[in-house]
Amino acid sequence: MDTSPAFLTETEFWTGVTVLIRNYHAVNKKIFACVFQKVIRLNEGIGKESDKYICESSNLTKVEETVGLGYKSSEAEIESVLYNLVANNESSVDCEGFIIFYKFLTKKLQNNIEAVGKIDLVNKSFTCRFKSCEHFEDYQVRFAKNVLATEILTERGSKEKGIRWLDFVLKPKLLKWCKNARLEELCSANSSTQTKSLQLIDLERYNELYKLLKTKYAEKALEYWNNAKESTDPLKFIYEDIAIASYLICLWEQVGPPTGFADLGCGNGLLVYLLTEEGFNGYGYDVRSRKIWSYYPRTTRLVVQTIDPDKFELPAEVDWVIGNHSDELSPWIPIISAMSSYRMHYFLLPCCAYELSGAKFLRRNTGISAYQDFYTYLNNISEKCGYITLKDRLKIPSTKRLALIGIERTYSENINANQNESISKFVEEERIKFGNNISGRDIKLRSNCEKVRNCTQIDKNILDDLVLKIFKHLLTSGNKISKGNDGAFDKWQMGARLRMSDIVKCLQKSDLQSIKAECGGIKTLLRNKHEIFEFWEGDFVGIRKPKPEMAKVKVKQQTVKKRPCFFKEYHPDGCPLASEDCTFIH
């Protein structure tokens, strides 16, 4: 570990502290989120008076009594003071700092944890102490002589463990924030683009509900998955959909429950199952069924149906449309909602980017990420549909976690017909302009038969010819790898390692034509032939060195030796392994 001091400017120190005060969960995996219960501003002379209580965890309740009620403040004011300190190197003249009363929401612990933090602008430090807690150590970070100093203030647990946490978790993370946090991202009040996580719902209620639903359904959903022998990763989908279900339920508790919901492009149907089991009336629609569908209770209503936006009609009782990673349907979710009924609401969590025509999304703004560009486009569609569009960031195991929510409209119900005409005109123009050679009156809908695109459906003779051509090119290229000194391999040619781009150049257009539509193309083909080729760092490909069986286990020969040995047949030096050591037929 690098033990050299970390030199900072005071501005950088306060930049890191600004991030730390609301992101303790980023340095403690047992914490889900930090909630500010109360903030008290320390005007001149008050800061010292509070110190004698803050230094003793047992007296945290005395802090509020000491500083009085006349100095109540807010998270926004903390952000404003620290933002001015970072941006302009100045703070309010009479402000010595802030005291923050925290509630830390735990992931697995039974109870949430209360704590108090003190931002000391005079002594340039931040202190955090926990109330009646044996799980975490009190700590302090401070700016001293242009160095970031960190200290554990208690010894509740192992001192060695606390020091490791300081050195390997807190300090590196804080230094990263000090050096890399962008000024405009420090405070929500000074950012027009930043979306904070779970800002539209009650964090504490969400955390408790998520833990409850996880206990109730995670094991059962995994059992369904295993019984159905689904090929996708169950843990990602199960915990992600439990989180989305928890979010929707919390949202509906605040804005009113749905009469009915419709999940368009529901995929495995897990979200529909969870919401139905929690007492909500709804449907899931998808272009094809999944194996897991048959394992859900009959109350989980899943419908095989192609969603043609021009013709699809929602059930009469539905007043919420859900688009959860709905791919080609994502840009249509606000439109279907708006044109179905004035009282229709929607929730959209977009993933893959598509136009209204069904073509791949054409970038509008290359100055931002592709995902942000698509998200902005969806927000524009929502606004064209007349929704007051709400935005939120979910906490799910996915990089695509920005949600759009439409509940209220910008216009009154009596002009709804005129608004629908305006939406229809907008849709027609978009489909023509960004149709990508698809007729303006048509929509490229997903087929109900999922096409296998992993190079396994191509004629075997074509694949074999390509594999042999690439193998010979690697074998005869210059810069051959040294042959080593391990017996049979002393004279065995290993050929060269080449970049994928160089391998593609050696092939003719006719060679590539047959697999151009396959996911991954040539790379997928070579990965499928892993007994012949291997990938190296930097996208290099080489010939794999044959290896004998690592363990001499008794396995029936016919279950191992199913195919002829490629190297024995095509390598100029044959296979370097003896017949009994090779897993292929000699």
User: Which H or E run contains 372?
Assistant: helix 370-384
Cβ-based burial of 478 (10 A; exposed 0-12, middle 13-18, buried ≥19): exposed
Q: Which residues contact 40 (CB under 8 A, 6 or more apart)?
A: 63, 64, 67, 71, 72, 73, 98, 99, 101
Contact 290, 225 (CB under 8 A): no
Of 354, 308, 304, 302, the C-alpha closest to 331 is: 354
State the DSSP code for 170.
Answer: I
User: Which H or E run contains 424?
Assistant: helix 416-433
HEC readout, 411-422: CCHHHHHHHHHH
- Structural domains of the chain ordered from first start: 10-190 (no CATH), 257-433 (3.40.50.150), 460-545 (no CATH)
As a whole number of angstroms, the distance between CA 273 and CA 156 comes to 44
- Cα(first)–Cα(last) distance of the chain, in Å? 52
Q: What is the structure's pLDDT at 551?
A: 41
For tokens 């893959």, the residue is 352
Strands 345-349 and 320-324: parallel
Q: Rounded to a whole number, what is the largest CA-CA distance in the chain? A: 88
HSE (side-chain half, CA atoms, 13 Å) at 149: 12
As a whole number of angstroms, the distance between CA 257 and CA 244 comes to 16
Paired residues of 28 in beta bridges: none
Across the beta sheet with 345-349, the strand order is: 302-304, 282-286, 261-264, 320-324, 345-349, 402-409, 387-393
Please list the ranges in the chain whose pLDDT falls under 70: 1-6, 45-71, 90-93, 157, 182-195, 436-459, 478-490, 511, 513-520, 538, 549-561
Of 255, 222, 430, the C-alpha closest to 332 is: 430
Q: What is the structure's pLDDT at 227?
A: 94
Q: What is the structure's pLDDT at 57?
A: 44
